[in-house]
Structure 1
Amino acid sequence: MKANHIETLGDELYEALRGQYTLAPLTEREPDITIDDAYHISLRMLQRRLADGEVVTGKKIGVTSAPVQEMLGVFQPDFGFLTDAMVFADGADISIADCMIQPRAEGEIAFRLKHDLVGPGITEQDVLDATETIMPCFEIVDSRIRDWNIKIEDTVADNASCGVYVLGSTEVDPRDVDLPALHMTISRNGEFHSEGLGSAVQGNPLTAVAWLANTLGQFDIPFLAGEVILSGSLAPLIPVVAGDRMSLEIAGIGGCSCNFV
């Protein structure tokens, strides 16, 4: 795909983000689009956000668990960038009208890095060695693609369907817990909704983060000390609307909550 066309598509996604509207799937309009094309479209979208004053604060992997893959019909992980404009504090009120289009909540384990990681060649042990703490997290994904009618190229181009994310207020050393065995429960409006294990994300969250480091390493994008890495949803995505209160608890780590207004 030619560079000027990549810029045009990235600009379209950026304008949809700012205007809070959706677009027809890129894969319908551009049947020959590749994942490499999609990644460069996402970089153009990110470039526009950085020009607005946003700062990259981390990276994310998505579509890692079987329930999410089945729900979206996308059967390989996506990847994208986090910025300071996306993060909310534990217990925050999030205005859907101000920043969302068709949001869905997912419960995750977030990693905070103390050392850089530069792929390829990153192992699970490398990820563990580079991680300072882990914490519970809600990622509120949001697609600029109409009706979530996405293929892998659509979501990669759309910055992995990033919306916003909420970090829990407790952080623990990942060496003190059994990451695949971590049990998460999610409640909506005070009632149990779903649950999942750390093993839902590629068998181990460390595996997912290593995959992301190696995938971005192919594009010469490193993980940097201090960044937050979202490792993927442990349970199916949950559509949310104004008035919903979401909370989760991960045994051995702590909880996280947010309110949609």
Structure 2
Amino acid sequence: MTESTGLATASQSAIAAAAERLAAASASGVPCAPVRDLIGPDDLTAAYAVQAELTRRRLAAGARIVGRKIGLTSEAVQRQLGVDRPDLGVLFDDMAYADGDAIPAARVLQPRVEAEIAFVLRADLADGPLDAARVRDAIGYGVAALEICGSRIAGWDISFGDTVADNASSGAYVLGRERRTLEEFEPVDVVMSMRAGGEEVSTGTGAACLGDPIEAVVWLARTARDLGLPLRAGQVVLSGALGPMRPVAAGDTVTATLSGLGAVTARFTGGTS
């Protein structure tokens, strides 16, 4: 990490203990206490070290990295969670669902859904200047997406350090069917409406995502490279919420409509598989 927090980085034993606490919550399905007692509430170096250890464990168990997510890009979501900065997490192959799929609600701990634009990269973002022009050129297409956020931490009682350590509160995601190049739509101009049970539960625009979803990906590309895992061609990027999150449970159906990108739907069912 190149960003300094001004705080002492937690010890390796504290980082390992935080990773073990979060891993145990994921394995048992029982949310745990926050990990800020171990690594501090806003020590980015320590928090990303915990995330890296959990990623290492997932890869050792056979998971594949298929992309990244940017979290906390919307002011509305930041207010919901009491934070003021974006973060990033890793997307694994078992997080992906297709439009309209049935998703077991228990698959994600304490699930909340948000609507966003996903991008699929056609080129690496690893070397040289990572500016908006470079990012736009690297994007193959965009699609409407739903992210099912989850927290291994009981009651979503999270500081910034907690959510970073917990893989940016990632859970699962759904990509829409319509693919559009940046010649066919402008991300900052997208208008979003998300409905659940026939009721509109969230609205927003591309401008709610760090001012422009492209700028969010610029931030991600630079930060991911700093962390030693640059973005690669073929990866999915969830660029961040366009409006507030909504809790969901078994029996809910959520549909988000994004202008220029169509709609995407997730159905939540009982059980875990």
Q: TM-score, normalised by structure 2?
A: 0.91
| Offset, 1:133 | 0.5
Write the deviation string for residues 112-139 of structure 1: whole angstroms up to 9, x where unpaired. Answer: 0000002684111111100000000000
Write the deviation string for residues 89-114 of structure 1: whole angstroms up to 9, x where unpaired. Answer: 110111123x1220000001000000
Relative to structure 1, the CA distance from residue 203 to residue 33 in structure 2 (aligned partners, 3 Å threshold; closer, same or farther) is: closer
| Offset, 1:2 | 2.7
Write the deviation string for residues 71-95 of structure 1: whole angstroms up to 9, x where unpaired. Answer: 1101101111000010111101111
SS of equivalent to 2:243: coil
Alignment check: 8 A CA contact 2:254 2:267 kept: yes
Alignment check: 8 A CA contact 1:116 1:225 kept: yes
Match of 1:201 among 191, 205, 209: 209
Alignment check: 8 A CA contact 1:90 1:167 kept: yes
- 2:238 is matched with which residue? 230
Identity rate, percent: 38
The answer to whether structure 1 residue 24 and structure 2 residue 33 are counterparts is yes
Partners of 2:21 and 2:226 in 1: CA distance? 26
Match of 1:215 among 217, 223, 234: 223
Aligned residues: 260
Write the deviation string for residues 167-222 of structure 1: whole angstroms up to 9, x where unpaired. Answer: 11111102221211111111102222221100101111000010011112111211
- 2:265 is matched with which residue? 257
Greater Cα shift, 209-218 or 120-129? 120-129
- 2:44 is matched with which residue? 35
- 2:92 is matched with which residue? 83
Match of 2:162 among 134, 151, 154: 154
Consecutive unaligned residues in structure 2, runs of 5 or more: 1-9
RMSD: 1.4
Q: How does 1:177-196 map to 2 (within 5 A)?
A: 177-196=185-204
| Offset, 1:3 | 2.5
Match of 1:68 among 55, 65, 77: 77
- 2:59 is matched with which residue? 50
| Offset, 1:50 | 1.4
| Offset, 1:30 | 3.9
Partners of 1:196 and 1:174 in 2: CA distance? 20
| Offset, 1:28 | 3.4
SS of equivalent to 1:235: coil
Alignment check: 8 A CA contact 2:213 2:239 kept: yes
